[in-house]
Amino acid sequence: MKKLLILSLLALSSCELPPRQSTTSTTLNSITDSATSETEEEYVMVTTAVSMPMYVHHDQAAFLRWGREKGVKTSILGPAEWDVPSQINIIEEVIGTRPTGLLINGTDPAIGPVINKAVAAGIPTVVYDSDIPSSKRHAFLGTDWYEIGQMQGKEMVRLLGGKGKIAYMGILGLTNMEAGFRGLLDVFKAYPGIEVVGKFDDKANVEEAARITSDLLSAHPDLAGLCGFDSNSGPGIGLAVKESGRAGKVKITTVDWEPEHLQLVREGVIHMLAGQKRELFTWYGAQFLYDMVHQTNKLSGNDRRAGIINVPNSINTGLLRITKENVNEFITK
């Protein structure tokens, strides 16, 4: 059922917000799964780039699985491309349908005001992946991106023995990635032998990451390491390093653990992946919504009247360290 829903999502192309009363919606930006629902409760996830494989395989799969286990309806909405204004518009429309709970991917600080509208409308609202700290969201679950940067920095220092030229890339300007960049650079402050030759915007595009890497290898024949911060950085860096014939010699650390990342680790092209525990974002995010609705844990005579949120305010779901030593465990997951 889930596979059919996801295939339908990838195949069709309507961008209209669909009705969610049917058991299965097949428009591009919507999956509704109520196959096992015995209640009218509907929990809605709103993201952007909804067909991105990383989101489909990890976040959305866990959310759908959670809904089936709880016997409630789950819906996933969002534009096909990375389009924050469209995500905001969809959240606006969803608020009007009064879902039981809203699970929102914190893609950009610009979604803060619409999150506040959802909270003001009395809808339990949880943000996942990246926090929107300026908003009034009830809870956040995700990864500390500063820690991602530190993890990559420490690994690069270890791989290079504390000296050598490195460069790093990702999507410049995003709050989470800028935090990751800071974490990386803060590690290098203690190692004067590490020389940073540049920070680059690969625009979350494999071809762009490969082009930047090729240019860097030409400009700096002694480049010793590269760090990647978005899902497509690693495959692009790996492709260019392989084509240059320097696989294994140029050290690579990056984020995420999609099949192409894992294969590059197994080949010895990428040396470490800083993996997010994405399934935990949405499973426990949905569970937080459910616990708010059902008052699973009461902290007062009436938490709502007392203005108390009865779930944790913020959860760091932690990181996975994936190297050649343990990569097979993730390939066979």
Each of the 333 residues of the chain gets a pLDDT tens digit; together they read: 344 343 334 333 333 334 444 333 334 466 677 655 567 899 999 999 898 888 999 999 999 999 999 999 999 999 998 899 999 999 999 999 999 999 999 988 899 999 999 999 999 999 999 899 999 999 999 999 999 999 999 999 999 999 999 999 999 988 889 999 999 999 999 999 999 999 999 998 999 999 999 999 999 999 999 999 999 999 999 999 999 999 999 999 999 999 999 999 999 999 999 999 999 999 999 999 999 999 999 999 888 888 899 999 999 999 999 999 999 999 876
Does residue 119 lie within any of the structural domains?
yes
CA 92 vs. chain centroid, Å, equals 22
In the chain, the DSSP E strands lie at 30-33, 42-46, 73-77, 101-105, 125-129, 139-142, 164-170, 194-201, 223-228, 251-255, 272-276, 314-316, 319-322
Does residue 184 lie within any of the structural domains?
yes
Does residue 9 lie within any of the structural domains?
no
In whole angstroms, what is the distance from residue 133 CA to residue 139 CA? 10
Are both 128 and 55 inside the same structural domain?
yes
Are both 159 and 105 inside the same structural domain?
no
Are both 248 and 283 inside the same structural domain?
no
Does residue 185 lie within any of the structural domains?
yes
Tell me the CATH number at 187. Answer: 3.40.50.2300
Are both 198 and 99 inside the same structural domain?
no
Instruction: At 184, list the tokens.
Output: 């990386």
Whole-structure pTM value? 0.83
Are both 192 and 75 inside the same structural domain?
no
Are both 222 and 79 inside the same structural domain?
no
pLDDT, position 34: 65
For 166, the domain range is: 145-276+322-329
Does residue 23 lie within any of the structural domains?
no
